[in-house]
Amino acid sequence: MQKPVLFSVGIKTLIGGVRPLIKVANLCRSFDTKKAVADLNFEVRRGEIFALLGPNGAGKTTTIKMILGMLKPDSGSISFDGQPLQFGEVAYKSRIGYVPETCALYETLSGREYLSFIGNLHHLSETDVKEKSDRLLEMLDLGDEADQLIRSYSKGMKQKVLIISALLHDPDLIILDEPFSGLDANTVLIFKEILKSQAARGKTIIFCSHILEVVQKLVDRLMIMKEGKALVSGTPDEIMRQTGHDSLDLTFNRITGSRDTEAVAQDIIDVIGSSKDSDSGNPDSPSDNGTN
């Protein structure tokens, strides 16, 4: 279903105007000799849902970490709400919520303890954190497991905790790196609605995802990166029009110059089926269970 673009833009313009919340200019970052991000420029407006897309190793996570102040840019600048960010500055981090790509959680804490910990780092009151986290855990079907250690959670449960912890302090900028990884279809629907509502409230959302179907329906604008550089940016419709495809999957494939996916798939199938002699696979073969 097509988004009501005019209505949406109208509300957001009323709330936040056109001044970008995040402005990235000439951003560069290398690791050893590899250029992870090279001369990147983009801006994200208040109340906008913006996606960073690209194949693996395109530099999306590095870009996000520089916006978060976790990595220092080699050159270039990042502005937050019109103010240039200095590396080491922490005050603006209280206005950011972040869901990392990996399940980085203290696994020897329970879900409830972890949320309380994050709430405390954001200076939320004890009662506020408790009330909010109890309700959110309950709403996301984690109520019964809230006191179990996170290490006993499934991937989806951990992802829910990460997303709750990113939203708990009602941040102005929400940055999500593969936020739907491991979530069940119903929870994905819930979070999509949450993101839309947050954007309508004037919150800015930047997210990376490889699920392009979701991206196509959710985002206002997107940017496709490869090898640290921006290849193209605009609304999904604008970008799809450029390539003449009606799906973002095919558009992405065309823009990133990937190989013919069907041919690659066929090659892989050929390799899998080409095993000649294998002694690896007889589960019933007796073992001698010999000595050490």
Partner 1 sequence: MEPTKQTINRHQLRTLIQVGIKQNWRGATNPFEPTADKKATVGFPGLAIWVGLNLFLSFALGGMILAISDFFISLVLSSFLAMTIVSMQVLMEFGNIIIIPDDFHIIGPRPVNSKTFFISKLIQLIYFVSLLSLAISIIPSFFALAKTESILSPVALILQFWICNLFASFLMMTIYTLIMKKTDRSRLERILGYVQLVMMILIMSGSFIFAQLFREYFMGADLSAALWVKLLPTYWFASPYKLISSGWDFLTFTFACGALILLIIISRVAFSYLSLSYADSLSRIPSNLESKQRNYLPRFVVSLWNRYARPEDKALLMITRANFKHDAKFRLGIMSFLPILLIYGAIGIREAGDGIFNPLNPIEGTAEIPNLLFGFAVSFFPLVIMSAMHSSKSWESAWVYFSTPMDRVRMVQSVGRIIILIITFPFGVGLFLIYLYFFKNPLDAFLHTLFLVTVGTNIITFGNLFSFTSKLPFSTDFSSGNVMMSGLGGLLLSLVVFMPPIIYICIAGYHGYIGWVVAMVIMLVIKKLLAIGSTKRIEIRVKKLEFFG
Report CA torsion sign: 104, 110, 112, 116: negative
The nearer residue to partner 1, 46 or 158, going by C-beta atoms, is: 158
Smallest distance, Å, CB 108 to partner 1? 4
Spatial distance between the Cα atoms of 256 and 227, rounded to a whole number of angstroms: 10
Spatial distance between the Cα atoms of 198 and 65, rounded to a whole number of angstroms: 22
- Per CB under 8 A, 31 contacts partner 1: yes
Smallest distance, Å, CB 88 to partner 1? 5
Name the one residue in this structure whose structure tokens are 């972040």. 98
- Quick check: helix, strand or coil at residue 85? coil
**Of the residues 2, 127, 274, 287, which one makes contact with partner 1 according to CB under 8 A:** 287
Name the one residue in this structure whose structure tokens are 């009662």. 127
Smallest distance, Å, CB 68 to partner 1? 5
Residue 127, both tokens: 């009662």
Spatial distance between the Cα atoms of 115 and 165, rounded to a whole number of angstroms: 6
Q: Which of residues 56-75 bind partner 1 (CB under 8 A)?
A: 68-70
Q: What is the x/- site pattern for partner 1, positions 137-166, by CB under 8 A? A: ----------xxx-xx--------------
Smallest distance, Å, CB 227 to partner 1? 17
Size of the site for partner 1 (CB under 8 A): 50
114: CB partners within 8 A, 6+ apart = 105, 106, 150, 161, 165
**Of the residues 27, 85, 136, 218, which one makes contact with partner 1 according to CB under 8 A:** 85
Closest to 109 (Cα-Cα) out of 152, 55, 51, 150: 150
The nearer residue to partner 1, 9 or 92, going by C-beta atoms, is: 92
- Per CB under 8 A, 105 contacts partner 1: yes
Spatial distance between the Cα atoms of 80 and 72, rounded to a whole number of angstroms: 15
By CB under 8 A, name the binding residues for partner 1. Answer: 31-32, 68-70, 80, 83-86, 88-94, 96, 98, 100, 102, 104-110, 112-113, 117-118, 120-123, 147-149, 151-152, 280-283, 287, 289-292
